[in-house]
């Protein structure tokens, strides 16, 4: 089985990117909403940075999504990966 922390970072990044694109925001737009640099958003999206819970709440505010909904999406994707790994 793959390293859990790496998988979770990748899922968080993938989820942030998908929601950002769905909302029609650029990385620059989201960075501005969250008071961070665009490169920080980029590093989250590619799974190189793992945002703190506080930062996730700020990202959710910028993405106009409830943190509980965000975590449900992350959890759902994580379960999908676990199920696929179990089949192997």
pTM of the model: 0.92
Instruction: Give yes or no for residue 84 having a pLDDT over 70.
Output: yes
- Residue 73 has a pLDDT of 98
**How many CB atoms are closer than 10 A to CB 49?**
16
Alpha helices in the chain (DSSP H): 4-22, 27-34, 38-45, 53-63, 67-87
Residue range 27-68, pLDDT digits in tens: 999 999 999 999 999 999 999 999 999 999 999 999 999 999
- Residue 1 has a pLDDT of 46
- Report the alpha-carbon distance of residue 11 to residue 21 in Å, rounded: 15
- Residue 2 has a pLDDT of 63
């Amino acid at each position: 089985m793959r390293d859990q922390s790496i998988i979770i970072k990748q899922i968080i990044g993938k989820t942030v990117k998908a929601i950002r694109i769905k909302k029609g925001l650029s990385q620059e737009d989201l960075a501005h909403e969250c008071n961070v640099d665009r490169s920080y958003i980029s590093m989250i999206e590619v799974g190189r940075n793992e945002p703190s819970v506080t930062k996730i709440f700020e990202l959710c505010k910028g993405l106009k999504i409830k943190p509980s909904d965000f975590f449900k999406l992350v959890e759902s994707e994580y379960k999908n990966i676990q199920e696929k790994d179990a089949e192997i």
